[in-house]
Structure 1
């Protein structure tokens, strides 16, 4: 069901529901081709490949520079997933892989824009889980190429960006007068966040201007299951894409499950410690240290609030466990739809594919909790 989408920009692309059962898909994947998951043996890629293997047994290929790891992942799924070696820096290697691909899901950060261009030129659909703003901008520039070859590339596929984009649009569908979006993300320190995720976090901390949108301040927000927490501005790509697509001011903030760790990290940021790390080019050792820290839970919360000048507000939240698994689930849902459904050609962000409510509802089937607060009174945070 579409909730007020006629009042939002960009809704002409929406109306293709991703919601369908695995049984519906088994009989009709097109063209006899496969879904290729590059980096499919990593934390996110493995979750993506396993989910797709359940829906399309024998039609999913796990690929990467380490064929041994690909084979281990493939064996763990029985016959559902096949393995292949590929070096995305080798055009001939990529061409061979694309010969059988209908959809490529990119789960690592390595030559992303070049791979996206190779896919789109051949009419192969492309999904990228990257959270890196420069990479996203590069792929966005391929929009005309994708349209010319009737291919679709989907970005903002994961937790943040991804679920944040969907929740932001859903909030504005319920409050069309909204002129501000505030996104708050709580991340657990436990579990495996994946190497690229940790590198991205370090990059955000070490950028001199990276911790805040101009004028953004920390805030106190009530988060489901965690009470009121202090969240800090952080350079998530979603605040730019949401702001541009919905023509609204958007700010993304972050905290960790440990309030002490949150205070320590952002206290160090305030006194310039991470800026110094960046100047000394010490990001790699810092990434190594943070990668070894697994104390805490693997829980996460994504909370989005839309408000207007009159003080009215609505909010939505998704809670769950293991951000890598959830990113894999969201990527698999998008790849599933590209594999089975005709979607608009071009480079799109996830919230432009369909009405937000059906996909948010489907998340409940993947061990997530989705909550909506539809009160429009003046809501303090």
Structure 2
């Protein structure tokens, strides 16, 4: 992989991107980093908080010409938006640049997967499933199956606090997925640390995971904190989806009320349960600030690609092809995550 050009972080001043930039600046002391996005003033303002290794640029990933021009400056692209992701992946192949995307949309991940042969022929890596879900949950699933090879069923749950600094795109994702689900369902058997009610959401390619890990079924669900909100959100999600600006307006008051009432704020739980006929095992990762954790995972993935290019597989690859959960464990502990 080329390393003489900067790493460009698209959405680098956003909720997740600012953590990626800060972590890369610390992890790779010789690397140059470009904070990129539609707003040059916002990108420049954030870049100015670092030394001269961090600069700013404007890019609109919905514009092919803007994307192509911006990417030509870089050796690695980290994409923090789903908009324009397929075009961005194709341009990366054409320019011989590897890509890391934190997209959580299964259809988008599958669309990028169709570029595997072209990416491999272009000697680039298109790294998908980088984040909490998909991402850390996938790594946890691989780890628990290594300890429970006879398990036949996998249950994956991400539980998020309703209040917190989630970022606009993450909030929109939660509303959209809840709207698609239409209702909460009872998780059977229930998970004591999560509660009974969950919202069925495809945040991983369940069929692919079942085949890769040789289990019969994989379920994937979203739960919320406080627990009662898991039942309520699917009913109000259609209204919120039709009025996206309202969500931004009520976020502040909801956050303030959560603090006053001491409700969970900006916390998350990732739970993977492996079940056989007569027993089960559970891995539980608890943490704060999903944007912070997503940023750390993306930055460590980027550092691995830059520092160990000879060990990086080419083509469309997943986070699980780059790192293991044990690789990330100490760095996650450093930012307050706990695995039990």
- Scaled by the length of structure 2, the TM-score of the pair is 0.88
Aligned partner of residue 118 in structure 1, secondary structure: helix
In terms of mean alpha carbon deviation, does 131-140 or 322-331 score higher?
131-140
Q: Tell me how far 1:132 sits from its aligned partner.
A: 1.4
**Deviation per CA, 1:269-324, whole angstroms, max 9, x where unpaired?**
xxxx646x49xx71535644664432341111111111123x23222121111001
| CA distance 1:217–1:230, shift in 2 (3 Å) | closer
Out of 39, 43, 64, the residue aligned to residue 70 of structure 1 is 43
Q: Does residue 56 of the first structure (1) align with residue 16 of the second (2)?
A: no
Partner of 2:17: 45
Partner of 2:306: 339
Runs of 4+ in 1 over 6 A off after TM superposition: none
Instruction: Identify the structure with bigger relative contact order (alpha carbons < 8 Å, sequence gap 6+).
Output: 1
CA distance in 1, matches of 2:4, 2:268: 38
**Deviation per CA, 1:123-176, whole angstroms, max 9, x where unpaired?**
211111111122212111111111111111111111111111010010001111
Out of 130, 151, 162, the residue aligned to residue 157 of structure 1 is 130
- Scaled by the length of structure 1, the TM-score of the pair is 0.79
Partner of 1:358: 327
Structure 2's unaligned 5+ residue stretches are: none
CA distance in 2, matches of 1:250, 1:289: 37
Give the count of matched residue pairs.
Answer: 326
Partner of 2:116: 143
Any residues of structure 2 matched to 1:260-271 within 5 Å, and which?
A: 260-266=228-234, 268=235
Q: Tell me how far 1:41 sits from its aligned partner.
A: 0.5
Structure 1's unaligned 5+ residue stretches are: 1-28, 372-381
**What's the Cα RMSD here?**
2.3
Q: Does residue 197 of the first structure (1) align with residue 164 of the second (2)?
A: no
Kindly indicate whether the alpha-carbon contact (under 8 Å) linking 1:184 and 1:231 is maintained by their aligned counterparts in 2.
Answer: no
Kindly indicate whether the alpha-carbon contact (under 8 Å) linking 2:162 and 2:225 is maintained by their aligned counterparts in 1.
Answer: yes
CA distance in 2, matches of 1:247, 1:210: 30
Partner of 1:115: 88
| CA distance 1:169–1:114, shift in 2 (3 Å) | same
Aligned partner of residue 274 in structure 2, secondary structure: strand
Q: Does residue 222 of the first structure (1) align with residue 192 of the second (2)?
A: yes
Kindly indicate whether the alpha-carbon contact (under 8 Å) linking 2:3 and 2:306 is maintained by their aligned counterparts in 1.
Answer: no
| CA distance 1:290–1:338, shift in 2 (3 Å) | farther
Kindly indicate whether the alpha-carbon contact (under 8 Å) linking 2:154 and 2:272 is maintained by their aligned counterparts in 1.
Answer: yes
Q: Tell me how far 1:361 sits from its aligned partner.
A: 4.3
Q: Tell me how far 1:370 sits from its aligned partner.
A: 1.8
| CA distance 1:133–1:210, shift in 2 (3 Å) | farther
